[in-house]
Structures are given as C-alpha cells and as structure tokens.
Amino acid sequence: MNSHEIRKKYLEFFKSKEHKIIPSSSLIPENDPTTLFTGSGMQPMVPYLLWEKHPLWTRICDSQKCFRSWDIEDIWDNRHTTFFEMLWNWSLWDYFKEKQISWMFQFVTKKLDLNPSKIYISVYRWNNKLWIYKDSEAVKLWKKEFQKIWIDALDIDMAEKKWMQNGRIFYYNEKENWWSRAWVPNNMPVWEPWGPDSEMFWDFGEDLKLHEDSRWKDEHCHPACDCGRFLEIWNNVFMQFMRTKNWFEELKNKNIDFWWWLERLAVAVSDNPDVFRWDLFDGIRNKIEKLTAKKYWENKKETMAFRVVMDHLRAATFLICDWAVPSNKDQGYFTRRLIRRAIRFAKDLWVKWWFITEIAKEVINEYKNHYKELEDKKDFIIKEMKAEEKQILKTLDKWLREFDKLVKWFEIIFKKTWKKIDTIAWIKAFKLYDTYWFPLEITKELAEERWLKVDNEGFKKAFENHKELSRKGAEQKFKWWLADESEKTTALHTATHLVFAWLKKYLWNDITQAWANITAERLRFDFTYWEKVSRDMLDKVEDYVNKAIEEKSKVTIEEMEKNKAKENWINWSFWEKYPDIVKVYTIKSGDNIYSKEICGWPHVENTNKMWKFHIKKEQASSKWVRRIKAVLIND
C-alpha cells in the first residue's frame, strides 16, 4: 500500500474508534510566538490538553503538516526530512494507556500487516530527583499484546550500556522517553503538560548495520542507537503531569498524545529504510532524474544532492502555501534558505536553471487530493518560486563580485608588504555565506582555482554557532503568551479581533492574519497587505477599537458548524486548523456588531475591562505582510 492508503487506513481506523477527524493546522502557528513553525501536532492542542473543552469531542485524530527548521543541515541520511506528516490521535480526558496500546498494536499487526517479530518498544525508566518512576504499567500492557501472538517480550534496562540482551521492551531515561512541547533542562516550561512516552521501532535487520560504509559495523547496537538498523516509527505520549513552578503535579484529567511519522511508517511497510525511495518522492525524484539525466543512488555525493533538493523544495512548496514567502526574516528566512540550499546542491547534479517550479508542480500534484489548498494556491506558489529563483540568479553575480574583491585585496596586501597570503580567513568566508548565501563549497572551489585555501576549521566553528542561534530562534523566539491568562494579555488579544475586523471591513476584504505575538505589555499583529497603511487610516482603526471599548461591548461565545460560519462571512484566520465545530466570538454593543470571528483562545467578557487603545507603529514585516504594534493605555 502507498502512503495515501496508509493515511486513509489510519484515519478510518480511529474513526471506527469514535474519533473525530479534524483538518491539519497551518505550518505557521496561530497566536503561539514560542515557535516559528508547527513542528508537532501538539502545538494547536495545548489549550485542550490542559483547560479547555474541545468543541468536537474527547477523541480526535488528523494528519498534521509539520516543519522543523533545525533539521535543515541534517538532510543527508535516508530518514530525516524537514517537512513531514504526522498521523495523530488524542484522547482528551478520555481513554488512557490500556486502550491506546491495544489499538496501536492491533493497527500495525492487523491493518498494516507488519511483522511483530521486527517490532521493538521503548518505555520511560525513572528519575529519582523528580520522583517519577518506571513506567511498569506500559510494560505490562505491551507484554500482554505480544503474548497474544505468542511472543515472549523480555524487558531490558540499561540497553545503551548492555545492548540488546534478547530484549523486546527497553527502558530509557528522559532524554529518550520523556516528552514535552519544549525540553529545556535547566529552565523547563511551566504550566504545560508533560509525561513519559513509549516508542515503537522497526528493525531493518543486522545486515544494514554491517554494511561496509557503516561506521557502526563493528559496534553493538540497541533500538535507540543511531546505527541505522532501527527506525523510530511512532511516539506514544502519556500526558500524566504538569510542570509547576516548583515540581511536577499529576494531572487530574490525563491525555493521550500519539503520533506516527507517515514517511517512516511507509518505509516500515515496504521494509526499505530510505524514505526518499518511497512513493511520496516518486514524482519529484523522477522529475530530477529527467532534468539531469542522472539516477538516484548512483554515487554518494549525488545521492545526498538528490535528497536535499527533494526535501527542501517539497518543504518550501508547503511553506509558501501557508504564507511563509521567501524573505530575510522570520518564517520567510527559512523558506529562502531552503530554496537557495536546494539550488546550491542541484549544482552537484548539473541541473539547469529554472527548475524549481517544475519540482513544486510535482509536489502539488502528489499532495493535492489530501491538501486541497496546494491546488487552490498553485499559481501563487509558482509565482513566488519563479521570483525567488530570479533573485538567486542576481545573487550569483554578487557572490562572484564579492569573491573577486577578496582576491584583489590579497593582491594589494602582497604588493604593499611582499607577504603572500594563501588562506582565506574563516571570518571572510563566513561573511560570504552569512551575508551573500555563498556556500563554503563554492568558496573553496573558487579558491582552489586561484591557488588559495580556506580556514575550514574556523568556518565550521562559526557555522555551528550560527546553526545553534538559528535553532534557538526557531524554537523560542518570544516568551510564551497567555500562559497565565492575565487580564492584560487577554484584553490585548480581544483588541486584535477589533483591529482585524476594521481592516477587513474598511481597508481590504481579502486581508488575512499572518502572525500574532501578544504579551501583557503590547500586541504585534501581522496581516497580508501590499503597501504601507497611512497614519490617517491607523487613526480610524484606533477610533473603531476605542468606540467598542467605550460602549462596554459584550463578548459572547457561540459554537457552530465551520461551514456555516464561512457562509455567514464570519472572520477567521488559518481556516485549515479549525475542526468541524468552531467557537465564534462576537463583540457587540446593542445592535452594533464590532467583530465576529472564529477563535480558540480566551477573551475578556466585556470591553469595559480594557484601557484606551493606541497604535504605536505600522511597518513592513516581510514581503506582502504588514505589522501593527499597539498598546492599551490607562489614562
């Protein structure tokens, strides 16, 4: 069965278990400034895991689009991708470990017909300091499932030191089997759900590890090692605890947060460890082979180039679809970085220019039946891709000019001092990379042509530092908002609804929200628009919001079908993220409706809780996106 069939089987299976299927959220998180991208299916669900009742049901499942920017530099092996799909199911204060483990084992062995003798399980070990002990309950449940098919599942501790020991179930510490939305060892996020997890691994066999190219061929292994023999295909999180300021408290209402990697599950079904050989990449891979007259897997260098181009352009296509258009900051920075890195690696395949739109068309064609927004925005995606490739061609000229300047500087120094410099300092090589996107490989090639060398070690150190800063920027750009549900923060969030309502009503009806970052001190509201908004217009926005505040408008909540909300022209942002039943917040004074919008976050009950509204600044955020910065003033 192919990937689309696996996705369909999964959703149908959980539908039969009384789960409601919801659409994927956008790759750009709404109202979550802690991260630039949706890197997991949990992000949109945090309110429902802790305090808020989901409008649909206590059992939810979906196929979630995900993007992880910190994996960009790791796209070289056969299993990592920056963009991926996660098949997800949640129990929100409903069933717990027993049903979940039984259903999962049933799905893989009966519905997907995976060989249970090639399945291995990991569970949480313990942490004496936190007073959280071994997940022996999960071990008993797993043993019960294996016993049903006559497999004696031996549980093993300390496998990372003692290896396999003929085990089937393995205990690991919190590095491997403890999960939260953000793991920061010395500064763990508070008021968020945490818990032990149980992972499933697929065994591709000892022969894979023993391959002559494997650096692990002479070492022992275990399921959570990196030798390539085992592949993690799912993660089953048991949300039992909440981190408080001082300790961990057990949640009164426990949750299941479970996900599969669709691509990894697919390679387990095919028993082929290379995700880039699977059907989701067939169209992209075949197109590149046609454009280059080369074949995937002919040699190591070209295979890596194939993987980078396939992964990066697939991810960029989805990001542009969700409004992360190429730019020099925020989400657009990573879209630009993906495209330029893909073009750099395409050089190793001798791809001709003007090829990235051809790859994007293959991505759209592969996914359009499930993610219909790709087909709807096809012209927009292709237009942005073409514009970016055109810009890159111009940048190539800048690369060459800057390098020539560097070489001429060497010549000037030699004429003045008779001191010959034969090595390009790392700081200059890194400036070419960081400022002009000039890859080190090209710098080294051009340097060799002029009998020069590059300070490779210095560049590597600078690059690692740059990579770490990029990762931190992607994981935690701002402080977590609404974590304490303070009145000031909630009031500013309510104000964003009023701002959005005026913009759509009086400025341009097709305006959409692109981003929001709200703290107790101020709001930042990004929206799609092509030019600067005049101060006169901003004053009118202020007047509109302040009038709603002065009239002490009530904020009411109504649940309705999503399509009904659309038919009634009710405002929304990120349509794809909402379930079939949505919450509509109305801000109203008498017969005057100031705002009517779909949302899932807290608001004030009445605008009399709000102070005077003032817009401090309006500016460009990125291409086709404007940003309003505003505050509430107690005067």
Mean of pLDDT over the chain:
81
Residues 6 or more apart in contact with residue 78 via CB below 8 angstroms: 228, 273, 274, 275, 276, 307
Supply the pLDDT for residue 481: 41
SS3 content of the chain, % helix, strand, coil (to 5): 45, 20, 35
Structure tokens at 193: 């759900």
Question: Which of the pair, 619 or 298, is modelled with greater confidence?
Answer: 619
Interval 288-293 mean pLDDT: 90
Helix axes 356-367, 378-417, angle to 10 degrees: 150
Rg of the chain, C-alpha, whole Å: 27
For residue 215, name the pLDDT band (cuts at 50, 70, 90).
Answer: low
Domain chopping of the chain, boundaries:
3-277, 279-421, 487-633
Burial class (CB in 10 A: 0-12, 13-18, 19+), 509: exposed
Q: Which of 167-176, 325-334, 455-464, 551-560 has the highest mean pLDDT?
A: 551-560
Residues 6 or more apart in contact with residue 128 via CB below 8 angstroms: none
Structure tokens at 149: 């098919």
Interval 328-339 mean pLDDT: 84
The DSSP result for 29-51, as a single string, is -SS-TT-SS--STTGGGHHHHHT
Q: How many CB atoms lie within 10 A of CB 186?
A: 4
Q: Is CATH 3.30.1540.10 the classification given to domain 3-277?
A: no
Burial class (CB in 10 A: 0-12, 13-18, 19+), 490: buried
Structure tokens at 35: 């991260």
Residue type, 248: F
For residue 578, name the pLDDT band (cuts at 50, 70, 90).
Answer: low
133 vs 196: CA distance, rounded Å: 10
pTM for this model (two decimals): 0.71
Q: Which of 433-442, 459-468, 524-533, 608-617 has the highest mean pLDDT?
A: 608-617
pLDDT over threshold 50, residue 480: no
Of 291, 311, 321, 335, residue with least CA distance to 382:
321
Q: Please identify which residue in the block is written with the tokens 């499930």.
A: 370
Superfamily of domain 487-633: Threonyl-trna Synthetase; Chain A, domain 2 (3.30.980.10)
Same fold? 3-277, 487-633: no
